[in-house]
Amino acid sequence: MIVEPWDPGSEPAEYKITAMGWLRIAVRAPILALVVFGGLAVLLMIRLIERPLCGADRPVTPWITQGVCRTALRIMGLPLHVEGKALTSKLGVVVANHASWLDIFALNSRKNIYFVSKAEVAGWPGIGWLARATGTVFIKRDRKEARFQTQLFRERLSLGHRLLFFPEGTSTDGRRVLPFKTTLFQAFFDESLKHELEIQVVSVVYHAPAGADARFYGWWGDMGFGPSLLNVLAQSPQGAIELVYHQPVAVADFANRKALAAHLEAELRTDVMARLSRGIPKG
């Protein structure tokens, strides 16, 4: 059965931003830009020192990314509820569902991680620059690249980097979890990795503001980044994000990539759907 990123023919109506909404945008947007791009400038300056001394390792700059993302969520007025503990083992990978551009802020705000992204993102204006500066790993979803990707993952993991994958391969409307693409999981079964590597599922669950479309924070299909950003900046009160760290599993406990992907997908989908049905957590 094919699962779509959204319900075809049921795209949300265009949001009408009120006068108060535009006022919030006028206040929040410049502050957000200052924090994000000011933080990027500081990161790049420190990286000029960090790179010659530490190479691919990044002992300092990920903390700047984490601070920027936490601050950005506060500027947007978007509450983040966190449950569970982040992975602590040296060789660790994180997999999460992908619902919104806000995932980047939510996931970066609580743990130093490095996203694994499709190669074309590197060329996107704005987002591509930020991704490259923060150490994103760019890959091609091609089996011919499997050996190179395994070597790249091994090098980054050996530095203690937490690599984060979105196995769905695309973002959604936030109301579903798509079937996982299993190709990249094969790299985890390399003999140099599988006996030590742990994988942690992280659920990212969005609860829309009261009275808004349930898919308010979702980002899918041909939706533009600009309009989505404006809608979020204009909103008050906001809904909420839940960030849930699950119990890690050992790669060596699974026979192959398909068995591993199926287990992680089922765990993630069960949790996301249950939390969506319960609504915004209290406290």
Q: Which residues contact 148 (CB under 8 A, 6 or more apart)?
A: none
Distances (CA, A) of 55 to 13, 39, 50, 135, 272: 48, 21, 7, 12, 38
pLDDT in tens, 16-45: 899 999 999 999 999 999 999 999 999 999
Blockwise average pLDDT, block size 10, the chain, 283 residues: 58 79 97 95 93 88 94 97 88 93 93 85 73 82 71 84 91 92 88 91 96 90 86 96 96 96 97 94 74
Give the SS3 label for residue 190.
coil
Count CB-CB contacts under 10 A for residue 180.
26
How far apart CA 177 and CA 270 sit, in angstroms, is 9
**pTM, rounded to two decimals:** 0.91
Find out whether 243 and 27 touch, Cβ atoms under 8 Å. no
pLDDT in tens, 98-111: 999 999 999 999 98
